[in-house]
Structure 1
Amino acid sequence: MTLHSLPLFVRLAGRPVILLGDGEAADAKRRLLERVGAQVVGEAATAVLAVVAIDDEGEALAAVSRLKARGLLVNAVDRPALCDFTLPAIVDRAPVLVAIGTGGVSAGLAAALRQRLEALLPANLGLLAERLHAARAELRARYPDGGVRRRALGAALAAGAPLDPLGGNDDVAGWLAGDQVRDTGHVRIILASTDPDELTLRQARWLANADRVLHHPGVPVAILDRARADAVRQTWDGQAAAHDGLTVELEMA
């Protein structure tokens, strides 16, 4: 499945960003840029990003053309076909940021999703992230192997697990003090549907934590994409070789 855009988090603190336009849309973009510490500048300034929030179609097209000719990446408000990048709706649980984008085709949908996620994500989610960061040395000492460490974290952060991100628990020290349960070995999943939303929570967790995914040719890409990007993917040949990590085998019912 092809992504229409590659989501990136760009640090703009102290860096110039060109903003052209007046009115409500331009004011909203200015507030967002200032919130991340960017220096909002005019067209003559040197920058690598630009936002065009001009209502008049002719003026907006001309401004976009001039800026792109300079090699700038441009966001053209309400003109998704002209955008090199879009500005997402944001859920802020610093240092955790959740960005929702629709490629510029429906800001209303992105805003509605942001409101739903605001209600779902606990206020202390950022504290959980900070405590996991502070525990990096202890995690590496306890689980020297990167794959084992990742599976231990994956199990702890799964739905209903001790550090479930939606559960509101940020006691990383308490989790580390206990015995950890990790998925290992070979797991076979028989898919009853080509819809990835039909995966059970356990199946989705296995797939997300797998080091290797063996799949039959008929398994759709939409389901394979639920695995980690760095997980090894192989078409299943009837044999499952021994593997130290977690291997998930997928086939259609």
Structure 2
Amino acid sequence: MHSLPVFLRLTGRPVILLGTGEAAEAKRRLLERAGATIVAEDATASLAIVAIEDEEEAVAAVARLKQRGILVNAVDRAALCDFTLPAIVDRDPVIIAIGTGGASAGLAKALRQRIEALLPPTVGMLAQAMADARGAMRARWHDAASRRRAIDAALARGGALDPLAGADASTVAAWLDNAGEDAAPARLERIPLASADPEDLTLRAARLLGEADAVFHHPSVPVPILERARADARRIATATPPVWSDPGLALWLTMGEE
């Protein structure tokens, strides 16, 4: 991973913007949408965007800003950037950012347009309704693991809250009215890996890694594969087939037929 994706709250915060013309105006509009206060170069700020067309002038401005410890985005100059600005799908409060590390803004735009077409306008309403229902969900499922499993099942394809099926606030209310107690059975799935490259994971394996509560793995399974698992999933190295009796899903990863 070449960069760490981060969502910054810029409301009322100063951001330096240098440059004129179409590129600078586009960045100005983006910053204003995010609530930032746009300031001049000599102001105190943590972030700056340099949208100067002249190469020498832009390089000099970037150097001055970096010397002050300011993180800089230099438009169309990826090698000078401390951070890049992604293509954005905005379904407030849901935000999807697509970045290429400055490799191709055109590719990021094309991906954004595809994702825009997939997402119904109700996704933002669904997110807000789930935020509003946190208290009710905690009352229904007292422990975090049960709550997560119930939410995961509801948000899955074909689930009660499938985000791509137009679920909204009324759907969340109906789901809570009809949801039963968590009774997820113990389930252990073995995944024999044909490759050490995480890009070679099957769609099923990638999906299960994102869902599993625990990942048992042979010591030979490489770290990049394990990094595809849920961040809070337990990871247990073992050379022998595991026994799993807890509620929820566990995986047993092996290399080939080990």
TM-score, normalised relative to structure 2: 0.89
Q: Which residue of 2 aligns with 1:176?
A: 176
Call closer, same or farther: CA 1:131–1:9 in 2, change over 3 Å: same
Call closer, same or farther: CA 1:113–1:183 in 2, change over 3 Å: farther
Which segment is superposed worse, 89-98 or 36-45? Answer: 36-45
Assess if the C-alpha contact under 8 Å between 2:17 and 2:48 holds in 1. Answer: yes
Assess if the C-alpha contact under 8 Å between 1:152 and 1:182 holds in 2. Answer: no
Report the identity percentage: 60
Q: Which amino acid aligns with 1:185?
A: A
Q: Which residue of 1 aligns with 2:252?
A: 249
After superposition, residues 101-250 of structure 1 pair within 5 angstroms as 101-170=99-168, 171-180=171-180, 183-191=184-192, 193-194=194-195, 195-196=199-200, 198-200=202-204, 203-219=205-221, 221-242=223-244, 244-245=246-247, 246-250=249-253
Across the two proteins, how many residue pairs are aligned to each other?
249
Which segment is superposed worse, 122-131 or 212-221? Answer: 212-221
2:38 aligns with one of 37, 40, 59? 40
Q: Which amino acid aligns with 1:30?
A: R
Question: Per-residue deviation at 1:46?
Answer: 1.0
Q: Which runs of 5+ in 1 are unaligned?
A: none
Assess if the C-alpha contact under 8 Å between 1:50 and 1:74 holds in 2. Answer: yes
TM-score, normalised relative to structure 1: 0.91
Question: Per-residue deviation at 1:183?
Answer: 4.5
Q: Which amino acid aligns with 1:20?
A: L
Question: Per-residue deviation at 1:222?
Answer: 4.9
Question: Per-residue deviation at 1:250?
Answer: 2.0
Q: Which residue of 2 aligns with 1:78?
A: 76
Assess if the C-alpha contact under 8 Å between 1:214 and 1:249 holds in 2. Answer: yes
Q: Which residue of 2 aligns with 1:13?
A: 11
Q: Which runs of 5+ in 2 are unaligned?
A: none
- C-alpha distance in 1 between matches for 2:222 and 2:63: 40
Q: Could you give the per-residue CA deviations for residues 146-205 of structure 1, whole angstroms, max 9, x where no partner exists?
A: 1111111111111121111111122011112224566442321334644455222xx544
Assess if the C-alpha contact under 8 Å between 1:151 and 1:182 holds in 2. Answer: no
1:53 aligns with one of 51, 54, 59? 51
For the residue of structure 2 that corresponds to 1:58, the secondary structure is helix
For the residue of structure 1 that corresponds to 2:43, the secondary structure is coil
Assess if the C-alpha contact under 8 Å between 1:196 and 1:223 holds in 2. Answer: no
Q: Which residue of 2 aligns with 1:65?
A: 63
Call closer, same or farther: CA 1:25–1:39 in 2, change over 3 Å: same
- C-alpha distance in 2 between matches for 1:82 and 1:166: 38
For the residue of structure 2 that corresponds to 1:166, the secondary structure is helix
- C-alpha distance in 2 between matches for 1:7 and 1:59: 29
- C-alpha distance in 1 between matches for 2:201 and 2:101: 22
Assess if the C-alpha contact under 8 Å between 2:244 and 2:250 holds in 1. Answer: no
For the residue of structure 2 that corresponds to 1:151, the secondary structure is helix
- C-alpha distance in 1 between matches for 2:183 and 2:118: 26
- C-alpha distance in 2 between matches for 1:218 and 1:237: 9
Q: Which amino acid aligns with 1:141?
A: A
